[in-house]
Amino acid sequence: MDPLILSRIQFGANISFHILFPTITIALGWVLLFFKLRYNATGDTAWMRAYFTWVKVFALSFALGVVTGVTMSFQFGTNWPGYMETVGNIAGPLLAYEILTAFFLEAAFLGIMLFGFRRVPNRIHTLATVLVAGGTTVSAFWIIALNSWMQTPAGFEMRDGVAHAVDWWAIVFNPSMPYRLTHMLIASGLTVSFLIAGFSALRYLAGDRSDSMWKALRTGVFLAAVLIPVQIFVGDQHGLNTLEHQPAKVAAMEANWHTGSNIPLVLFAIPDEKAKENRFEITVPNGASLILTHSIDGVVPGLDQFEGNHPPVFPVFWGFRIMVGTGLLMLAVSWSAAYFLRRRRSLPKPLALLMVPMALSGWVATLAGWYTTEIGRQPWLVSGILKTADAVGPVAGSHVALTLAVYLILYAALLVTYLGVLVHLALKAAKDGDTSPLPGVLNAPLSQPAAGE
Amino acid sequence: MTFDWPTLLPLIFAGLMGLAILIYVVLDGFDLGIGILFNFADDAEKDTMIAAIGPFWDANETWLVLAVGLLLVAFPLAHGVILTALYLPTFLLLVGLILRGVAFDFRAKVPAGRKHRWNRIFFAGSLIASLAQGYMLGVYVLGLETGLAAMAFGALVALCLAASYAAMGAAWLIYKTEGALQKKAVRWLRSTLVLTVLGMAAISLATPFASTRIFDKWFVWPQMLYLSPLPILSALLFIWLWRQTFHLPKENDRHSIIPFLTLAAIFALGFAGLAWSFYPFVVPDQLTIWQAAAAPESLAIILVGTVFVLPIIIAYSFYSYRVFGGKAGDLTYD
């Protein structure tokens, strides 16, 4: 097979697997800080129990994020040497600042956050939690700045085919960056809130009615219920920004083949790239014009404007629909759960059963969203500057295929183990309930199995 | 050579990258080494060994990200050339690092019956990562050559680097543990030290003969005189450390960190020798640091950040090591 498509699949597989874990750690750090601050304020040990349960998930997710992140730092060179040769002057400093200002901060204080509760004063432990949470967010800031710059480059000039920085402010805060960053940070918040809600729902179903379970459950459900409408608004703004700067992507997202006014919103279709039309289309009249221009006879760009230079339509169209569909499901589930928790102070069993698989809904929506925006940038690696095909390395297709196969097997095994450990931790927490050892009394070495049974 | 920014910046970044690699090799060296020694310990000892590195390994591995990151951002051309040439060993290194990194957490969180599996994976991952690093170093030393001789040399360096990481691991255990495990670590140190000496001697001898350019850098007067402290000091430190292994642990466990620091010093000396051999090339005999460097204005903006942030990083890294100073054994999640 062609090394280009294999390299793309490999990079896609690596970065997809990687993004799962930062998506959790970015927001989970702040949720842990919330638990810690509640404990500091109330002295209620249930908050600290919630902290200890979730700090384990944090540690696990962080470890997976680190090791897959190390892979990413090598893959730029192994698979896409043309990328750094062309835009290294821009990408380099952004990545360097990510490592310098975020990675070390997270890694150094993670040790204190995980194992330092009895070794340092409580204030330092809280500070370590702040620094780790801040580190994950700063890391997101830099990498989103770089990704957004690849989508909507600004603040540079080309000299002899190499990008040179002219205005760093314009590079970092390029046109799509504030939208993408906000959208991603809230996505992380939603992923974590549904993870916590689903994990706690599993404890609830296992008969756990402990204080720490209720506290985590409420935190997850209410956070999700608050964030999801905000996310829908931010997502809409992000879409309008994309329409302005990357119209070809929007045309592919809407599977709109012809520029025009009164464009319908396509709810379902099988886009056919050869015939340049949609099969089995179900549409809402004037819908796309209304959403994208906020007027029913607004003009929406079609793929015919970007002949031969637009992204593949099928994955972008469906990626977008999966993301939006998951988002609407999240809205329904989180609002009904919030209703029952506030008004009835209980959780109906069918809803709890639905919340358990919804624990992973954030992952689905995040991945679908990233596929939409990244595939939507094709055929460009850096919009208007570098085509993906021109950045691929000289490595033989067979090598890429072999390593890809091993990565896929490895990632599948790790994902199964990770989810297995989460379920195991939830059931164990459900069994222990509020009888788990109190903070500061526990003396079981980390290296002991978490469960002796 | 004129001392303007376009000349100086690549030089400074080569120095920073060298520093990051050296810190990485010393720090991750000991935790990879403990992974290699893992298979020779019993279950209780394994828990103590993990406790001796648990709070540190994330940060240790970050130095690799910094080193590769500096290669990527400061010498983008070299990053591409080196990593595409070392595609498969890089892949093995990554698989090794992934496996051992997740094993840290999984072994402590899976149901008890599956802990052994993750212990074995921790050992295997650490060994694979160390061997891959050694192999990459060997092939790099020979100028990214392909061919049977280069592969054999790579394999030799792989074994020796794994042995020297194990020696680092043993020295760290002498510092962090007590009792029977500490005595065991002393024996581990002694046996791995032999392989380390053989490895460093082999690399030191092979390098000049593999490349006439490197030969000319070492064996001309008066450079020979200036460079002579490197091998002589290394040899003295080796002999001293070897003799020490018969008297460890000392009364009241005094100076238990000395073996580790001695080994770190030997690593630094060996590293300085390598750096001298390669200078000014970042890809041996192909690209100099100036040919491979990114644009000066981009390097300058990274340097500004580095000058401010690196001292802070080093300061809080020290703080973190201090918080978890003393003997390991009671690492808990609270």
B260 lies in the same domain as B310:
no
pLDDT for the residue numbered A223: 94
B225 lies in the same domain as B312:
no
Is residue B3 domain-resident?
Answer: no
B213 lies in the same domain as B310:
no
A209 touches chain B (CB under 8 A): no
Name the residue in chain B with its Cα closest to that of A452: B112
Residue of B42, B60, B98 for testing the chain A interface, max A β-carbons within 10 Å? B98
For the stretch A75-108, pLDDT in tens is 777 778 888 888 888 888 888 888 888 888 888 8
pLDDT for the residue numbered A23: 94
B285 lies in the same domain as B300:
no
B220 lies in the same domain as B108:
yes
Is residue B12 domain-resident?
Answer: no
Is residue B11 domain-resident?
Answer: no
Using an 8 Å Cβ cutoff, are B192 and B164 in contact?
yes
- Average the pLDDT over each of A74-78, B194-198, B235-239 and give the range with the smallest value: A74-78
A114 touches chain B (CB under 8 A): yes
Q: What is the DSSP letter of A401?
A: H
**C-alpha radius of gyration, chain A, whole number:** 23
Give the model's confidence band at B332: pLDDT under 50 very low, under 70 low, under 90 confident, else very high: low
The boundaries of the domain holding residue B308 are 295-326
Query: Which residues of A fall within a CB distance of 8 Å from B84?
Result: 77-78, 81, 393-395
Kindly determine whether residue A393 and residue B80, on different chains, have CB atoms separated by under 8 Å. yes
B290 lies in the same domain as B312:
no
Distance (Å, whole) CA B127 – CA B133: 10
Distance (Å, whole) CA A78 – CA A7: 9
A167 touches chain B (CB under 8 A): no
How far B188 CA lies from chain A's nearest CA (Å)? 22
B83 lies in the same domain as B197:
yes
Is residue B332 domain-resident?
Answer: no
B157 lies in the same domain as B243:
yes
Give the domain ranges of chain A. 1-176+407-443
User: Per-residue pLDDT averaged across B130-135, rounded?
Assistant: 92
Is residue B231 domain-resident?
Answer: yes
Distance (Å, whole) CA A7 – CA A28: 32
B111 touches chain A (CB under 8 A): yes
User: How many domains is chain B partitioned into structurally?
Assistant: 2
Distance (Å, whole) CA A185 – CA A141: 9
Is residue B333 domain-resident?
Answer: no
Mapped onto helix, strand or coil, the DSSP state of residue A445 is coil
B313 lies in the same domain as B213:
no
pLDDT for the residue numbered B180: 81
pLDDT for the residue numbered B129: 93
Distance (Å, whole) CA B165 – CA B168: 5
A439 touches chain B (CB under 8 A): yes
Q: Which of residues 9-48 of B touch A (CB under 8 A)?
A: 46-48
Kindly determine whether residue B298 and residue A82, on different chains, have CB atoms separated by under 8 Å. no
B290 lies in the same domain as B302:
no
A85 touches chain B (CB under 8 A): yes
Name the residue in chain B with its Cα closest to that of A120: B323
* φ and ψ at residue B253, rounded to 5 degrees: 60, 35
* φ and ψ at residue A164, rounded to 5 degrees: -120, 140
B63 lies in the same domain as B106:
yes
For the stretch B28-87, pLDDT in tens is 889 899 999 988 888 888 888 888 887 888 888 888 888 888 888 888 888 878 888 888
B313 touches chain A (CB under 8 A): yes
pLDDT for the residue numbered B131: 93
Tell me the pLDDT of chain A (453 aa) as tens digits: 687 888 888 888 889 999 999 999 999 999 999 998 998 888 888 888 888 889 889 988 988 888 888 788 777 777 788 888 888 888 888 888 888 888 888 888 888 888 877 778 888 888 999 999 999 999 999 999 999 999 999 888 888 888 888 888 999 999 999 999 999 999 999 999 999 999 999 999 888 888 888 889 999 999 999 999 999 999 988 888 888 888 888 888 888 888 888 888 888 888 887 777 777 878 888 878 888 888 888 888 888 888 778 888 888 888 999 999 999 999 999 999 999 888 877 888 888 899 999 999 999 999 999 999 999 888 888 888 888 888 887 777 788 888 888 889 989 999 998 999 899 888 888 887 766 655 543 333 333 333 322
For the stretch B141-151, pLDDT in tens is 877 777 887 88
Query: Which residues of B fall within a CB distance of 8 Å from A447?
Result: 46-48, 50-51, 54, 107-108, 331
A300: CB partners within 8 A, 6+ apart: A250, A251, A254, A256, A259, A260, A261, A263, A288, A289, A292, A293
Residue B30: in which H helix or E strand, if any? helix B5-37
B251 lies in the same domain as B307:
no
Per-residue CA distances from B45 to A283, B166, B276 (Å): 66, 16, 41
Is residue B334 domain-resident?
Answer: no
pLDDT for the residue numbered B333: 52
